[in-house]
Chain A
Amino acid sequence: MEHVILVRYGEIALKGLNRNFFIELLAKNIRNTLRSVPSAKVKKIQGRLIVDVNDEDLNRAMERVQKVFGIVSISPAIVIDSDIAVIEENAIEQVRSAEDIKTFKITAKRGDKTFPIKSPDLCCRLGEVVLDNVPGVTVDIHNPDLNLWVEVREQTYMYHEFIACNGGLPVGCSGKGALLLSGGIDSPVAGYLMAKRGVEVIGVYFHSFPFTSDRTKEKVIDLAKIMSQYCGKIKLFVVPFTEIQTKIVEMCPDRQTTIIMRRYMMRIAEMIANNEGAKAMITGESLGQVASQTMEGLAATNAVAEMPVFRPLIGFDKTEIVKIAETIGTFETSILPYEDCCTIFVPKHPETRPKVSEMLRSEEKIAEMMVQMMATAVAESEVVTL
């Protein structure tokens, strides 16, 4: 008897002729997440993926597979020969070994039409042998404590647990996006949500030592590592930003520094995105959350970008964002109390209604030197792959 994980994919089944592409991608992502579980093998069967895994690795493998986008639900299952005697024996054993149940139901599906017993007949037959052989249980077809699924194909799969997963699309099917990662609560959640829609995420973090400590950098790396459980491999660019930031603070009006800084971050992120073949940028901005995230503030930062900027959190409240961050496990790391580049240098009275034209005027003095400085920052970025 073998143990497997049955993997059900939802939305991708609808994608017409591209279906195979999506399924192959999903299989590849599952294989990647199971690299550390050597016994696991991913196979395709009709309408499902199957992960073959050693008994002792089952829980670890399930934990990892659950986090892969594009999966609706998974079930740990046993695989047995499609032989009625074997099926009966295992059905009895499954119900017998279930703890704390009084009622059960058999849901049999005959996928393999060469199997001689039709689905409804198989339900009845298995129900009967279980009743005869397991004392103390009765049948309840409406609300059973245990619903034992029996799928008869070339081999037969038996399972009773459905573990809901995160849905979405397989990462990579929607192209690549550059996520501006700050170390706060929001940006990892934004990256997670876009990965859920199939975006392969690369991270861009602006490091302003000594204004942000090396601990902040470690924290961002830790965050990317947590995200990679969902997003797959993440290439993180650590951009040295001190000189640019200092220059902005030195040369530009105090109340505009935050917005101008963000405009340069956007420009640099776009340069990296282009180098990496990314087609969009992703930020954790949420409308009105801070002074720079007013509609005018967003417009002012948006104006420097040629590629689309995805802001999946735009309509989210902080509490909603925190809830997701807690679920995906980034929250605890995000709230570690180190300075990040957004909290330091915050002017006392930041501009909340910036105009693009005013920004351009303020940037005039530095625009020329920034061309070189930005190129240097991109070239000197440290790349960490997680």
Chain B
Amino acid sequence: MKEIYLDNAATTRVHPQVAEKMMDALVNNYGNPSSLHRLGIRAEQAIKEVRELIAKNLNCQPPEIYFTSGGTEGNNLIIQGVVENKKRNRMRIITSAIEHPSVLDVFTFYENHQIEVIVLGVDTQGYIHLDELEAAMNEDTILVSIMGVNNELGTIQDLKAIGKIVKAVNPKCIFHADFVQGFMKIPVDVRVCLLDALTLSGHKIFGPKGVGAVYIKKGTDIKPLLRGGGQENNMRSGTENVPGIVGFGEAIRLRKDSFSDEFEVIRSLRTAFINELEAKIDDIKINGDPNGSPYVLNVSFNRVRGEVLLHSLEARGIFVSTGSACSSHKKEKQYVLKAIGLAEEYKEGTIRISFSKDITKDDVNTSVEAIAQAVNSLRLLVKPNKNR
């Protein structure tokens, strides 16, 4: 049975060329970048190249890029680093209701610490209301954190418009975006969007797990999470994950010239997927914005349990997810669907399909066929009004 992997928003399979480069770094470029001898210098050189590559793609300077262990660390570093650094009497921080738990949980943590936490609601497609943001902004606002691309819905926020509003009200306020689901899929320019900080991760773009980066605009005051050897210009102590960073770099290199073309290809796949689904199955609902990220398709089936559907598809070699993998450990699993006001009967029956360049039109047909079979047979087992 062929495996069709449709959970690329959870993680991706490492590209063979990435693995090769990493193997080389593990075995040959094994020096500690902090070492003074030439093996150290060679390792340092390798990560310097990746730093420059990322900087170029975000339109910032290489020293503004810091390597981390991934998205969760990046988000924590920025949010905690901003809040812990500003000891003022009145502080306000603003985010949205559909953020990744590594943002939302940090915000709610601060709710109990005499900090005014504002969580902006979203519309039915997952967009924040810009006028609400503007109304929430004030002189005390030290941080606004809004994700670029939502991991469950694919909604792409207008970072440029958000940056403008934030800076117009309070130029000193730090504007951060979690861009884990957007990096190397949609372009971003940190200068144009007036971003002070941005979180990136390696394993969503066929790079390795356990590596990521943050952009922090020069002059932005961030208190590091980790203290120690002072690596990454004191921002992130700990010996650099050289093979991880090299792999991350290779993953970027492989995509940097092709991702805008890929975007269109994926968009047509997604459209085909939706059309097929709607033709074959009734009583379904496509969530999010049709013009959002084509990499994510969030769909609800009435009278089906998402988790059961997931396992039925798994038995057919098709791998999807319910919501995001990162919140499947949490009790309140469906806060994103709640935030967009999805009706109760659809909420339980929601799965997330997330695409990659490896998915073909045939895969789409096979998957839709399998989903239709599974949904229709599962629905037979639900008898709303029998024998009551």
Q: Which residues of A contact B (CB under 8 A)?
A: 209-214, 246, 249-250, 253-255, 337, 339, 344-345, 349
Contact = CB atoms under 8 A, between A and B. Distances in A.
B381 A249 contact: yes
A346 to B, nearest CB: 11
Given A210-B315, A211-B308, A337-B331, A255 B387 contact: yes
Interface string B69-92: 000000000000000000000000
A214 B310 CA distance: 12
Interface string B362-388: 000000000000000000110100111
Interface residues of B, number: 17
Nearest to B330: A337
B353 to A, nearest CB: 17
- Kindly list the 9 A-B residue pairs having the minimum CB-CB distance in the complex, ordered from nearest: A210-B311, A253-B387, A210-B312, A249-B381, A213-B311, A254-B387, A211-B308, A254-B386, A254-B383
A253 B385 CA distance: 10
Interface in B307-324: 307-312, 314-315
A331 to B, nearest CB: 16
Nearest to A253: B387
Contacts of A213: 307, 311
A249 B378 CA distance: 11
B217 interface: no
A101 to B, nearest CB: 44
B308 A344 contact: yes
A344 B305 contact: yes
A250 B380 contact: yes
Contacts of A253: 386-387
A312 B380 CA distance: 38
Interface of B: 305, 307-312, 314-315, 329, 331, 380-381, 383, 386-388
Chain B CB within 10 A, most for which of A210, A249, A250, A345: A210
A339 B308 CA distance: 9
Given A214-B311, A254-B386, 11 more contacts: A209-B311, A210-B309, A211-B308, A213-B307, A213-B311, A246-B381, A253-B387, A255-B387, A255-B388, A337-B329, A344-B308
B309 to A, nearest CB: 8
Contacts, number: 36
B388 A211 contact: no
A183 to B, nearest CB: 15
Contacts of A214: 311
Contacts of B315: 209-210
Contacts of B309: 210
Contacts of A249: 381, 383
A329 B386 CA distance: 42
A255 B388 CA distance: 8
Contacts of B307: 213, 339
Contacts of A345: 381
B301 to A, nearest CB: 14
B101 to A, nearest CB: 15
A345 B382 CA distance: 8
A75 B386 CA distance: 64
A349 B384 CA distance: 11
A246 B103 CA distance: 41
B388 A349 contact: yes
Nearest to B315: A210
Contacts of A210: 308-312, 314-315
Nearest to B386: A254
A112 to B, nearest CB: 61
7 contacts: A210-B309, A210-B311, A210-B312, A214-B311, A249-B383, A339-B307, A344-B305
Contacts of A211: 308, 311
Nearest to A339: B307
A213 B309 CA distance: 11
A289 B244 CA distance: 51
Nearest to A362: B387
A211 B309 CA distance: 8
A157 to B, nearest CB: 50
A210 B310 CA distance: 8
A344 B348 CA distance: 12
B333 to A, nearest CB: 9
Contacts of B311: 209-214
Nearest to B387: A253
